[in-house]
Amino acid sequence: MSRYELKAHKQRYQVFVGWDPPLGSYFLQVYDTRARNPESQPFTWLGAAERLDFVQLSRALEPYATLPLDIAVKLCRDQESE
């Protein structure tokens, strides 16, 4: 499984994306750093209960962060190397 932290649009958020081979899905996790226990659970977690393809990941990510080209390439390679 891969997991990459992205620079969030707002300091309030901590954003992670990755590829989960057992689920066959990309995932997005967004944590609220202002929460009482920000590491406990992400307030947005996509790709765990449903399969998320690359296009869906990119769209879901838009409100929180921009996906840099180097991370996009790594994500695609992570999926291909499965």
**Bridge partners of 15?**
6, 30
Q: Say how far apart CA 30 and CA 48 lie, in whole Å.
A: 13
pTM of the model as a whole: 0.89
CA angle 38, 30, 73 (to 5 degrees): 135
pLDDT tens-digit readout, 39-65: 666 778 889 889 999 999 999 999 999
CB atoms near residue 57 (< 10 Å): 21
**How many separate domains does the chain show?**
1
Structural domain boundaries enclosing 53: 4-80
Q: Say how far apart CA 41 and CA 39 lie, in whole Å.
A: 6
Residue 34: what pLDDT? 82
